[in-house]
Structure 1
Amino acid sequence: MASNRPAPAAPFVPSQRGTEAFGYGSYSTDEGPWEEWNPTEDSTRPVRGRHRVAKQRGGGLARSSTVLGVGVMAAVGAGGMASAHAGKPPVSISMPDLPVSHLPAVGSLLEDEPSAPQGSATALSSVGMTGTDNAEDAGDAGEALRNRIMAQAEQQQGQAESKAAAAAVAAADKQVADAAAQAEQAAASKAAAAKEQAEAQAKKAAEAARLAELAKQYALPTSSYTLTSLFGQAGSMWSSGYHTGLDFAAPTGTLIKAIHSGTITQAGWAGSYGYRTVLTLDDGTELWFCHQSSINVSVGQKVSTGDVIGRVGATGNVTGPHLHLEVHPDGQPIGIDPMAWLRGKGVNP
């Protein structure tokens, strides 16, 4: 710290002393003479470092008063304070010549804290705060930071939990939708299968009804028979190389009946077929009854289902008594399977 510039010395004339000297109510001849004292660099101990505020302790008020007094004296010594009123002649200030050791230096007032090194900086936020206060502030800042971090963590956790809950809800909804779709599809498939089955049953019932109705119109050509040769069987016994009809083996003289109503178009000998009767139905289908032992109808005669048209025999190319039946749609020379045709009419040989 630079020393204070010495104040200009005022001539000491006791007779000119005023009655308003600093620090005194009136002049007294008992006082003085005193020597003037101006603080210099040699008389004051420099204070190193920046001023620091002492910790607030029990004697803080007394120390503050002491510092204030020292400051006042320093100002008085630096400025001179010539007079208390403007316009009056300057008045010198006399201070007792006390040893420097009796004056408390500013640095000694802060002896509880080590002097800060030259050029050191103290944060403005720490001025007037004790170590405990700084620790508490640091603790509060740490606690605030911790609370903020915890709040952010809780917020992030809440967001994650919300997202997880939303995902779980979406997954559950999807599962419910999939289950509903599967159930709907299964129900639709089941309904379609049931409908198809019902339609099949209805169709079967309708066909049965139709066959039952046809069965009233169609009948087997004979009774007490045995099927010995089927349509299409190959063999040298037949001139075509295969069997062209259906054989009903029965005793000679067994009655032969009309399968359906129609008109007799042929009745007589037919070579290898023996005695043959041809019954033409209304749709043009020809039914051939062959190997008869006798014929009971004539050409042009109308017959109905179940009418007797002849008897079983063994005429023509045969090995035993039987009825050889052939079916020729529209009078075609090549016949079809009589078994399938009869079943299509509701008659099962």
Structure 2
Amino acid sequence: MASNRPAPAAPFVPSQQQPETFGYGSYRTDEGPWEEWNPTEESIRPVRGRHRVAKQRGGLARSSTVLGVGVIAAVGAGGMASAQTGKPPVSISLPDLPNVGSLISDDEPAAETTATPLSDIGGTAVADSEDTGTAHADAGEALRTRIMAQAEQQQVQVDTKAQAATEAALAKQAQEAAAAAEKKAAEEAAAAKKAAEEEAAKKAEAERLAELARQYTLPTSSYTITSTFGQAGSMWSSGYHTGLDFAAPTGTLIKAIHSGTITEAGWAGSYGYRTILTLDDGTELWFCHQSSISVSVGQKVSTGDVIGRVGATGNVTGPHLHLEVHPDGQAGGIDPMAWLRDKGLTP
């Protein structure tokens, strides 16, 4: 850049040193010598060419570009401060400065430049601050919405799991209740079936006994049971009673208990007059102490046929019928009372 012509040197006089308007510290002797420069119209005449210097006004060269940059920096700093502190922006209204070409005196036309009004700069900075705050607010709201959505999703998952567990527990309880009810029903059905079977068995037994009762009959009537099977006593040679005694008056009729064949009829020592009736299954019925016998050996008799009369023959203390039962003709007999009851008869 072209510079002004140097002014003629003036003699340096230290005692005439003037205090500096701007400076740091006291006057330094290693600097200088300084000489006063007073520009004149001749010294500031513009130089023809590409490089030009603007005219000085009031001893200070001002450039719209430099001043504009400073104002922009100031306004920007003010806008940042306003955005940081949160205070409402303050509008700055400054007149638009002329461009650099108006400050340069030259015959050649200067390039056109466009100056941006400071009011627009301030407004743009404020708008940017507002946009930034809005962007932060939108980002915060988006983050909050996302967190709430995640929390809600987690809560939904927890509720779903809890509901599934509850439904599983209810289903298990229902299955257990159904199984218990089914088991109880099965037990009740089994008990009912068993009771029915027992009832049917009792009924069948009653029918069987009724049928047997029609086939079997008691050996006599108008009697009294005086001695039972197995009763101990010295009156019997075996030491115990081997039959069942029906005490009745002498001459009371003795009947055939069941149909069979007469295999013995006559005197039998201590048994007196005895008749043996052998049934079809081989069971022998002994009718002892008779006063008379009405049948003979080999004779077929039916249920209820008279075979003799009650007496007191043999080893006795009074008139009675001594009845013994010998299955398959065995020597040792069984209890006649039990055998008669098995045939549906109650002595």
Q: Which TM-score tier does this pair reach, normalised by the shorter chain? A: 0.5 to 0.7
**Using a 3 Å threshold, how does the CA distance of structure 1 residues 127 and 327 change in structure 2: closer, same or farther?**
farther
Contact 1:54–1:128 (CA under 8 A) maintained in structure 2 = no
Contact 1:267–1:299 (CA under 8 A) maintained in structure 2 = yes
**Using a 3 Å threshold, how does the CA distance of structure 1 residues 323 and 139 change in structure 2: closer, same or farther?**
same
**Using a 3 Å threshold, how does the CA distance of structure 1 residues 15 and 241 change in structure 2: closer, same or farther?**
closer
**Using a 3 Å threshold, how does the CA distance of structure 1 residues 162 and 61 change in structure 2: closer, same or farther?**
farther
User: 2:318 aligns to what?
Assistant: 320
Contact 2:255–2:303 (CA under 8 A) maintained in structure 1 = yes
Q: Quick check: 1:59 aligned with 2:91?
A: yes
1:1-349 correspondence to structure 2 within 5 Å: 7-9=1-3, 17=48, 37=61, 53-55=77-79, 57-60=89-92, 62=94, 130=129, 140-349=138-347
Contact 1:229–1:247 (CA under 8 A) maintained in structure 2 = yes
SS of alignment partner, residue 194 of structure 1: helix
Contact 2:245–2:322 (CA under 8 A) maintained in structure 1 = yes
List gaps (5 residues or longer) in structure 2: 6-42, 64-69, 83-88, 111-120
CA distance in 2, matches of 1:160, 1:170: 15
Displacement of 1:8 in angstroms is 4.2
CA distance in 1, matches of 2:59, 2:75: 32
CA distance in 2, matches of 1:155, 1:142: 20
SS of alignment partner, residue 262 of structure 2: strand
CA distance in 1, matches of 2:136, 2:251: 133
Aligned-partner residue type, residue 150 of structure 2? Q
CA distance in 2, matches of 1:211, 1:61: 134
Displacement of 1:153 in angstroms is 2.3
CA distance in 2, matches of 1:15, 1:286: 175
CA distance in 2, matches of 1:141, 1:32: 53
**Using a 3 Å threshold, how does the CA distance of structure 1 residues 234 and 136 change in structure 2: closer, same or farther?**
farther
Displacement of 1:235 in angstroms is 2.0
Alpha-carbon RMSD: 4.3
Aligned-partner residue type, residue 217 of structure 1? Q
**Using a 3 Å threshold, how does the CA distance of structure 1 residues 37 and 224 change in structure 2: closer, same or farther?**
same
CA distance in 2, matches of 1:290, 1:205: 36
Displacement of 1:263 in angstroms is 1.0
CA distance in 1, matches of 2:45, 2:187: 135
CA distance in 2, matches of 1:286, 1:9: 171
Displacement of 1:129 in angstroms is 5.5
TM-score, with normalisation over the residues of structure 2? 0.68
User: 1:89 aligns to what?
Assistant: none
Contact 1:53–1:127 (CA under 8 A) maintained in structure 2 = no
Contact 1:53–1:128 (CA under 8 A) maintained in structure 2 = no
Displacement of 1:317 in angstroms is 1.6
Contact 2:46–2:53 (CA under 8 A) maintained in structure 1 = no
Displacement of 1:236 in angstroms is 2.0
CA distance in 2, matches of 1:178, 1:300: 73
Aligned length: 283
**Using a 3 Å threshold, how does the CA distance of structure 1 residues 61 and 241 change in structure 2: closer, same or farther?**
farther
CA distance in 1, matches of 2:228, 2:126: 128
